[in-house]
Amino acid sequence: MKNRVVHSLAVLVMFALLFPVSLTAEKKGPVHVHSDSSQVTVRTPPAENIAAFRADEAFAYDREFRASNTLWHRIKFWIWDKFLKYFPFKGLALFWRVLPYLLLAGATIFVVSRLLKTDVKSIFYESSDEINLEFRESEEDIQAMNFHELIDEAAAQKKYRRAIRLFYLSILEDLTEKGLINWKLAKTNQDYMRELQNSKLQRPFAEITRLFEYIWYGNVHLNETGFQDALQTFRHFRDELARA
């Protein structure tokens, strides 16, 4: 009897495992659909971007593609490939409209300068007869030059930049005579500053060197007042050099 009861319970357990039946049906309520009430922001691409895409033949999907091999097309493609593809689209449409005029202006300046036999740089930068004399002094032995006479002559002719250059060269001569530097044609002003690194004159020499390079290499238009101010700085250094 006991075995039959155990057997019956085992059959019921196996039946329950193989065919699970929910004795209580879950009561489901009505399904509610929630409407999306979030605000939608419409984003419109900038007009410049749209214009740039419309002007680009690579995006003309609604038209039959015809490869253009004109000079202007090759120029545009080269500019785009080398430069513009790395920049945002804003302003590109305006750039393409302005570019022909820039090229035309550049070509006009070049042709006119060739006809007049004028250096293009002289249109934008000061031109002076001093330019032809810039390097003559540096090609000579500074110890063989009469700086006092040359400086007075340049100042009398209002060639103030030239006078400043001559004064700077005369200071190099003074430093050489005192054994503080070793003047050589191939040396630079930075070389002389390194030679003065153990001298108290290095800082004031660096100051007059910056002033000289600004006036000379910067092609500064120097008037008489500016010349006298620069001259005073140079003379002050010469006084310090005399006391050294």
Q: What would the pLDDT profile of 179-189 be if each residue is shown by its tens digit?
A: 999 988 888 89
- The token duo for 88 is 């945002």
Q: Are 161 and 215 in contact (CB under 8 A)?
A: yes
Residue 72: what residue type? W
Task: Give pTM, 2 decimals.
Answer: 0.47
Name the one residue in this structure whose structure tokens are 């019921």. Answer: 12
| Residue 9: strand, helix, or coil | helix
Cβ neighbours of 45 (radius 10 Å): 9
- The token duo for 3 is 């075995």
The span from the CA of 90 to the CA of 141, in Å, is 58
160 burial (CB, 10 Å; 0-12 / 13-18 / 19+) is: buried
The span from the CA of 205 to the CA of 201, in Å, is 6
The span from the CA of 127 to the CA of 123, in Å, is 8
The span from the CA of 192 to the CA of 173, in Å, is 12
The span from the CA of 55 to the CA of 51, in Å, is 6
pLDDT at 156: 94
The span from the CA of 184 to the CA of 141, in Å, is 9
pLDDT in tens, 184-239: 888 889 999 999 999 999 999 999 999 999 999 887 888 999 999 999 999 999 99
Nearest to 72 by CA among 49, 48, 104: 104
| Residue 25: strand, helix, or coil | coil
Nearest to 52 by CA among 102, 99, 100, 95: 95
Across the chain, mean pLDDT equals 73
| Residue 149: strand, helix, or coil | helix
What are the structural domains, with CATH classification, of the chain? 47-122 (no CATH), 129-243 (1.20.120)
The span from the CA of 33 to the CA of 36, in Å, is 10
Mean pLDDT of 127-139: 44
Helices (H), 19-91: 47-55, 71-82
Q: What percent of the chain has pLDDT over 70?
A: 57
| pLDDT surpasses 90 at 168 | yes
What is the band of 43 on the pLDDT scale with cuts at 50, 70, 90?
Answer: confident
Of residues 169 and 124, more confidence is placed in 169
pLDDT at 2: 46
What values do phi and psi take at 20, rounded to 5?
A: -65, 135
How many residues can be counted in the chain?
A: 244
- The token duo for 47 is 């007009």
